[in-house]
Structure 1
C-alpha cells in the first residue's frame, strides 16, 4: 500500500493534536501533597480487607495500567462466566481479588472459588489516561458526579468520574472487601494503618514524603485537618490518577510534524487505520484514540453480559462496552472485556473477520475487511511502538511505583507436602495474609478438608523440613513443647468439601520482627492413612 503525503496529512488531521491536561473537578484541585497521599493509598494493600490487594495490584503501569496476571491464564485468573462452568467459551480472564471473608476476617467458602481468591467477571481496564474519560468501567457506571458514599450527597458535580470509580473496588466482596463492608470500614482501616507498611520498598518521593508519619498526619497536610474520610480517600486517589498521563508516545511527535517519528511501515499502518475502508478512527479518534462511547462489537453473545444496558436500561445498549483508548495498547494483553484475544494479532484477526457474533446494535462498520498479511503487519506495527509511551515499561515517573507486598518476598512460605484424605483429596493450606507486626487479624485457612471433621491448626516455633509421620500423616513442624493447637470443626460436607479458618493477632513492636512461626493443619479423616490427613506447612516471618 503506497502512502502519500496527502493520506498521512488526512490521517493526522483525523487524530487531532497532542494531549491537553485532563479536566479537574473545581472542588478537588490538584496539589502535590494530595497527589502523594493518593499515590500512597493507591499502592497500599492495607486498603483491602485481607491486606493482600491494592488498587495498583490490578493496574500496573508497566502493563499499560491494567493487570498482566490475566495473561497467565489458568484457574487463578479465570471467572467461569454466566454459565458458572469452567472450561466453556464464556470464561473470562479477570483479576484475582480476595478470598471471600466476613467482617471478623474469617474466610467464607465461596460456591465457585471456595477459599481461593475470587476473580473479577471482567478484565481490568487501564488506569493510565483514565482522567480524560467522562464515564469509567466497561459499562460506564462511574460517572462525572461524585457522591459521598455514606451520605449520598453530591461532593463534586462534574469531571469526577475518577472519584466515582474509586468507590467501587474497596467495598467489592470480590475485589478488595469483606462481606457487608462499607466505606466507614475502609476509612477506619486506613486511619489505623501505618502507611505502606506492607511494601517491599516505596518510591524515593514517597519515602521522603512519608517520613514515618501516620495517615492522619498525611491527611492533615493534604486536606488541612487530620480526618480520614471516604470522600477524602477517593479525592486523593483520583488526584494521583490524574497525573498518570502518557503524552510521550512517538505518535505525538508525528502529529506535531516530525514524520521521522514513525517508520515507513508504521506510517502505512497509520494510514490504513484511518482509511475509509477500515474506518478504525470512527471509534478510535482524537489524541487518546477513543471516542469514550459504548458499542457492541460481537466479541461474545449479547446475553452473556449486558454491559452498558445494565446502567442505562436501554436495550440499544445491550452488550455494549466502553471503547478503550489505544494509547499503550501493546502493553495491555489480553484484550476485550473478557480477555478473549491473547494478543494484538488476534484483535486484528477479530476485526478482519467482522467480529464473532451479531446483534441489532452491532455497528455496520464491523464487517469482514479482507486484510492481506502485509496489511495486518502494518496495522500491528502502528499499534505497537507509535502508541506506547516508553516511560510506562521503564516505570519512570509518573509511572514509578512501590514494591507490592505480593512482590516483596514477605509472604508466608509454603513447604512440605500434604497428606491426602478420603478419595485422595489433599487438604490445602491457605496462607497469604501479611505477618506484619501489629496486624490485628492474620487469617490462616484450610480448603478441601473432609467436611464436618475435626481439624487442628498447629502453630509451632520450630519446623521439621524433612517431615515425620504422625498417625500416617507427615508433620513438618517440630511438635515440641512450644506448639499451640487450635481445634476447629470444618464447615461443609464430604471428602474435600470442608473448610475452616482461624485469625491471629500479631504482636506489635520491634521485638517480634524477624520471629518465625510454623503452621500446619491436621484433619481427622477415616479415609486417610492412619486416619489423619494434613495440609502442607507454612512459615511466617514477622516484619
Structure 2
C-alpha cells in the first residue's frame, strides 16, 4: 500500500485550508432493532461481502483489494491517520491507554493483559487511574491496583466493519449523530464511527472525569474541549519505539507532525468531508479511526485462501469438515451465521471449492444481540457481567487466538470454552450444546472435540501470527509497540525500596509513577496514594540515575531545593493529600536535554496525626526522547 501520505510529510502539513459552514446538531432517532450483519454479499469472488459505509463517507478501495484503500485517495490518508490514532496512547488524557491497549491483533483483537475483576465481578480491561476533572488522582473502587476496570471484556475490532451495531450491548450504531446539517448525517452503516468516540471520553477507559464526575465530553467544531486540546499539539506516535513503527509511517513520526497539522491536512484534501482549519474534532476522529478499522478484515484464513488458490481442492480437510458438521448439527449456527432473526434456522453452506455460498456467512456471526444462552457467570457477577445479560454474538474468526472467551471473560482456556458448549463444565447448563457426538447425550468425545478445534484453526488468519516471537505483522495488522508494553503498570516502582511510615504500624504512602515521561512533552506527573489524609507533601526527592541495588529504607533521595542539577524542573512543595490520601504533582514540559536520562523519585509527607515524616516507596523513570 503506497501513497503520497506515506512518503511526503511536507505535503501532509501543508495542504490548503477551506472554510467550514456553520453546523447545527441533528439528532437521529435511536434504532430499535438488535443488530445484524452489513455489507454487499456480491463481493469479489463471492467469498466475503464488500464493505458497507455511511452515505457521504465512502471507502475508496484498492483495485486489487476490497479492504485496502486506493493509494493517494482521501480514504488512504484517513486510514493512515486512523492507524496512528488507534495505536497512540496520547489519545488518553494521561498518555497511558490507547485504543489498541485492549485490542491487540496477536490476541485476536482482544486484551492479552491479565484480566481484573470489575466492580460487577466481571473480568474486564484495566483503563486509566481514577482522576478528577483537573487530571489529579483520586480514589477509585476497582480491584486493579486502583485502576478503573471495564465491566466486560473488550470485544475484537477485527471484522467489526461487518456489524451494524457495536459493543456487547449494541449501543453504538447504526447512526452517528453529529454537528452537521441533517442532509449530511450518517444515518446507517456508521457503527464504527459511533463506537470510536466513546472510549476516549470514558472515565473508566481513557479519560479523567468530566465536570460533575461523569465522562469527559468532546467539544464542538470551533469550540474544542479538553480531548481535542490535549491531542492537537501531540506529535503522531511520539510514545512508540521508532523502530517498531511500520516503515510507511516513519517519515511522519520523524518529522514531528502534530495531530492538528495532520487533521487539517487530511481533511482539506479535494472532495474531503469536514474541510476547514479545525484540527482534531469528534467527527474527524470518528471517520479516521473507522476508516482504519474497515481495513481489519480477517479474510486470509486457510478456509479462505484454499478457495482462492484451487478450484478442485475442498476448502476443509476431513477433520475440519467433521468439526463444521458438529457445529451445524448442534444449532451453533443459530447465532454464528447470517440469520435474519433471533435464533434463526439458516445453516452456512460450504460450496466445496468456493468458500461460503452466502458471503454474509463469512464472519460466522449474526452480529445480533441475543437473550441469554445461560452463559456462565463469575461468582457474584451483576449487570453486564452476568451470564444472563444478553450480548451480541462474537465471530468465530480467530477464536483460537483469544486469551478469554465470553463477554465476562469467565472462560479462560479453549478446554473451558469447549466444555461449556459440550455440557460438561461443572455448574453450567448452556441453552445450546453439542448434541451430535458419540458420548452420553450426544456430547462430543475427545476426537470429536479435536475436529471442532481443527475447524476453528482453519478460521485463523495467519497474518495475525508473528513469524517469530516479537516479529512484526504485515498490513493491515502491522503496528508499533506501546509504551505500556515496554513499561507495564507498576514496573517503574521498586519493590526493593519500600516506604516507611511516620510511626510503627502507620500508613505507608505509595508512589504512583505511571505516566510516560517524554522530553519536550507535557502530562508527566508523580502521584501518591495510601497516604494519611490531608497530609502535606514535605519533599519530592528526585535524583539522577537509578536506585541503589540494596534497599536502604527510608531511602531519602536528593531533596535539597527540589532541583536536580537544573535538568528536571520540579514543581514546588505545598501539595496536600485529599481525604482519601491521594496527591498529584504535575510537571511542566520536560526539557529536551533530559532525553535518555534516568531519574529516581520518592515522596516525603508530613503526617499531621503523628507530626512526623513518612516516606513513600521509590521508583525510576527514564525520559523518552
Q: CA deviation at 1:461?
A: 3.8
Match of 1:314 in 2: none
C-alpha deviation, 1:333, in angstroms: 2.1
For 2:257 and 2:193, the matched residues in 1 are separated by: 25
Matched, 1:375 2:420: no
Superposed displacement of residue 212, structure 1: 3.3
1: CA distance, partners of 2:400 / 2:550? 51
1:407 and 1:43 map into 2 onto residues whose CA distance is 12
Q: Which protein is richer in strand relative to its size?
A: 1
Q: What corresponds to 1:501 in structure 2?
A: 584
2:230 is the alignment partner of 1:189: yes
Whether 1:26 aligns to 2:64 is no
Superposition TM-score, scaled by structure 2 size: 0.72
1:486 aligns with 2:569: no
Instruction: Describe the SS at the equivalent of 1:146.
Output: coil
In 2, Cα distance between equivalents of 1:408 and 1:143: 35
In structure 2, stretches of 5+ residues that fail to align are 1-44, 60-74, 211-215, 220-225, 269-275, 338-360, 436-440, 467-472, 565-569
User: CA contact under 8 A between 1:269 and 1:381: conserved in structure 2?
Assistant: yes
Uncovered stretches (5+) of structure 1, i.e. residues with no partner: 1-15, 82-90, 310-316
1:371 Cα deviation from its structure 2 partner: 2.0
1:206 to 241, 249, 263: 249
Sort the Cα spacing of 1:226 and 1:329 in 2 relative to 1 into closer, same or farther, 3 A: farther
The match for 2:483 among 391, 405, 410 is 405
1:312 aligned residue: none
Task: Write the distance in 2 (CA, Å) between the matches of 1:364 and 1:467.
Answer: 57
State the alpha-carbon separation in 2 of the partners of residues 352 and 542 from structure 1: 50
DSSP-derived class of the 1:183 partner: coil
SS of the residue corresponding to residue 521 of structure 1 reads strand
Does residue 323 of structure 1 match 2:393?
yes
Aligned partner of residue 423 in structure 1, secondary structure = coil
The corresponding residue for 1:45 is 89
Is the Cα contact below 8 Å between 1:353 and 1:369 reproduced in 2?
A: no
Distance 2:140 2:492 in 1: 24
Task: Name the CA distance, whole Å, in 1 between partners of 2:514 and 2:167.
Answer: 28
Q: Is the 8 A contact 1:464 1:475 kept in 2?
A: no
Deviations 1:197-248 (A, max 9, x none): 1111221111135543222332233211442211011100000000011100
For the residues of structure 2 that align with 1:453 and 1:356, how far apart are their CA atoms? 51
> After the TM superposition, which residues 230-245 of structure 1 pair with which residues of structure 2 at under 5 Å, given as runs?
230-245=282-297
Match of 2:157 in 1: 127
Instruction: Note closer, same or farther for the CA distance 1:138–1:283 as it changes in structure 2 (3 Å cut).
Output: same
Name the CA distance, whole Å, in 2 between partners of 1:477 and 1:292. Answer: 56
Residue deviations 1:362-413, cap 9 Å, x none? Answer: 8567887522222222212221x20100001232110000121223459983
Q: How does 1:305-320 map to 2 (within 5 A)?
A: 319-320=389-390
User: Are the aligned partners of 2:56 and 2:184 in contact in 1 as well (CA < 8 Å)?
Assistant: no
Using structure 1 for the length normalisation, give the TM-score: 0.82
2:463 to 391, 399, 414: 391
What SS does the aligned partner of 1:498 have? coil
Tell me the alpha carbon deviations over residues 344-370 of structure 1, each in whole angstroms, 9 at most, x when there is no partner.
Answer: 2211111111888899xx856788752
Q: Is the 8 A contact 1:455 1:488 kept in 2?
A: yes
1:290 is matched with: 365
Partner of 1:475: 555
Give the Cα separation in 1 of the matches to 2:410 and 2:123.
7
Deviates more, 1:329-338 or 1:106-115: 106-115
CA RMSD across the alignment: 3.4
Equivalent residues of 1:419, 1:426 under 8 A apart: yes
Matched, 1:112 2:155: no
